[in-house]
Amino acid sequence: MQSRMRSIAVAVAGLALLASCATAPPGPAGMTFFVTSAGPGNGANLGGIAGADAHCQKLAAAAGAGNRTWHAYLSTQAAALNDPGFTNARDRIGAGPWRNAKGVVIAQDVADLHSPGSKLTQATAIDEKGNSVNGRADQPNNHDMLTGSRPDGTAFAGAPFADMTCGNWTKGGTEGSAMLGHHDLAGPVDNTWAKSWNSSHPSRGCDTAGLRSTGGAGLFYCFATN
Q: Residue 177 carries which DSSP code?
A: -
Say which CATH number the domain at 171 has. Answer: 3.10.100.10
Which regions in the chain score pLDDT beneath 70? 1-26
- Give the pLDDT score at 205: 97
- Provide the domain count of the chain: 1
Residue 42 lies inside a defined structural domain of this protein: yes
- Could you tell me which residues are beta bridge partners of residue 224? 70
Residue 16 lies inside a defined structural domain of this protein: no
Residue 186 lies inside a defined structural domain of this protein: yes
- Give the pLDDT score at 29: 86
- Give the pLDDT score at 26: 67
Residue 2 lies inside a defined structural domain of this protein: no
Enclosing domain of residue 107: 26-224
Selection from 29, 36, 108 nearest residue 67 by Cα: 29
- Give the pLDDT score at 148: 98
pTM for this model (two decimals)? 0.88
Taking only the tens place, the pLDDT of each residue in 80-101 is 999 999 999 999 999 999 999 9
Please say whether the beta carbons of 44 and 209 come within 8 A. no
- Give the pLDDT score at 93: 98
Residue 44 lies inside a defined structural domain of this protein: yes
Residue 10 lies inside a defined structural domain of this protein: no
Residue 13 lies inside a defined structural domain of this protein: no
Residues 6+ apart with CB under 8 A from 64: 27, 28, 29
